[in-house]
Amino acid sequence: MSAISKLLSSSLCLCLLAACGPLAPEDTSSPLESQAFSAGNDDSHSQGTQLHGSHIPSVSYTGASVVNAGVRREATLRLFRGELVGRFNLALSGTTPSLSQCIPRGTGPERSCGFRVEGMGTCSPTTTVTVSSGDCASTIGGCTGRPILRVCSGEKPCEFEQTGYLGTGVGSAGPDSQCSLSSSCPSVRFICPRSGIFTVLSGAYTTTQSASVDVRSSAGRFPVTYKDLRGEQLIGARMLSSSPSGYGTIIEVKDATNAADVVIPESPGIWDASGDTFLYRMQIRSTSGTYTDLCTTGADPAVGWAWTVPLEGSFSKAGDRAESTSIFTLACDPGVLAKCYRWGYKPWLDGANPGAVTRAHWACTRMARADYCGSGTSFTQDGTLIQPWDALAPNIIPPPTQGSGPAGMQFEAGWNTSGPACLSHWRWKHLQAGCVELQPPIEDANGHVINDCRDPHNVAGAYKCSPICDNAQEARQLFNSSVFNNSIANEQLTRPQP
């Protein structure tokens, strides 16, 4: 007889008539990566009751702002892998005499007329950049005539060797105007300015003659109409909450770090060693200008705040995931949205469209909270150990080895995006779900379960049978599960967490 037969038959029948006492719900294109867990932790992981880990579960991609070179700019947000990116538009501002027509003619790079704007580029501050137009025989870039290049700092044109000036390059003249082998195109070597933005001007050496350039940059990007900020560059960025509980609330990035640099007490000891994920310290900005942390409890409660990881899509309080092009999720550690990502279920591994990893992450959030009813209500206690694994190919978390984990670990359930597809035992005997979907086992006079879904001849029929599974193979083949776990059938030894 399955373990669930003993645990469900009496208590679940009562729960179908009167609600049991569960914990309150929270807050009124890349290859798969195998996640390795150190044996010293017994392949087990600490799950919890929170989903988002905060009362502001989602924010808007639009209406944001970033700080670049000390200036706040309007921006939009996007997600790239496990990283938040802030984008603001570049806009040429102001004018200068060098953009005016030369009357009469103008000659040489020092003149203050006869230039035009070729475009703007971006680069990493303090790095060395070369802007050029190739050479006559090159397939990349090129020029005609005898052109001049002038590079200026930021989004403004400049004058020769005056404010904002970064450098000049002059092409050499050939025997004809078509850039023959005896002539060369101009280039400018400069140090990227603090703003990470530069503007390129061009003009003919003599304004009575014609010249053209096809400009290329050795570093950064040129030409561009926007600049992206990421990583620590996003410190100071502000975004707007889109959740009803805090609509329009301003959330500011106070710190950012690569998850590979964040040490955690749980195996494997690093938040995400891949280097693909950035974590952010988010704070809520009040109307009076004071700040409070969005995520208030992390791995070390004494710290008083926790890191946030951004995720595509949104999750309701019921634990349902929805795709969105307008909002994304802020997942606080130790909420299970962040935990399941940290365990290796990174939705962006699916590429452009949600797929198996996205569904496994969603199923993991049900599993981690023991969301037996698939309604967002947790039937577990914070800190309870479980052993998760999956049926992905290849596995992100492989099945636990025989005998690993704390004593008493046994198969609990197979999970999908709506909750447990089948169940073997309750994680906590005093926290038993009363949802109709988990039909209780019915035993005959001899103690045999007569409504087992695995039995095609069960007396209850396919829609009112008891979804029992004793191992991952049954859970996958009979109930289409993708994520599984072992756990101990815990007694109530401590007071349930609020």
Q: Where are the beta strands (DSSP E) in 205-342?
A: 212-214, 216-217, 226-230, 238-240, 250-258, 278-285, 291-293, 308-312, 314-315, 321-322, 327-332
Sequence-ordered strand ranges (E) for 308-378: 308-312, 314-315, 321-322, 327-332
What amino acid is encoded at 434 in this protein? Answer: G
d(CA 129, CA 63): 32
What predicted TM-score, i.e. pTM, was given to this entire model? 0.84
How would you write the pLDDT of the chain (498 residues) with one tens digit per residue? Answer: 444 444 444 333 333 223 333 333 333 344 444 454 433 344 556 667 789 888 888 999 999 999 999 999 999 999 999 999 999 999 999 999 999 999 888 899 999 999 999 999 999 999 999 998 865 544 356 788 889 999 999 999 999 999 999 999 998 765 455 555 555 789 999 999 999 999 999 999 999 988 889 999 988 899 999 999 999 999 999 999 987 666 678 999 999 999 999 998 877 889 999 999 999 999 998 888 889 999 987 656 667 789 999 999 999 989 999 999 999 999 998 789 999 999 999 999 999 899 999 999 999 999 999 999 999 999 998 888 899 999 999 999 999 988 777 888 999 999 999 999 999 998 998 888 878 678 878 888 888 888 898 988 888 877 788 899 999 999 999 999 999 999 999 887 555 444
Per-domain boundaries in the chain: 1-50+346-498, 52-89+229-334, 97-224
CATH architecture of the domain covering 97-224: Sandwich (2.60)
Given a contact cutoff of 8 angstroms between Cβ atoms, the answer to whether 470 and 445 are in contact is: no
Token pair recorded at residue 83: 């990283």
**Rounded Cα distance, 54 and 165, in Å:** 48
Neighbours of 260 (CB within 10 A): 15
Task: Name which of 322, 369, 360 is nearest 341 in CA terms.
Answer: 360
The alpha carbons of the chain give a radius of gyration, in whole angstroms, of 31
> Which one-letter amino acid corresponds to residue 392?
L
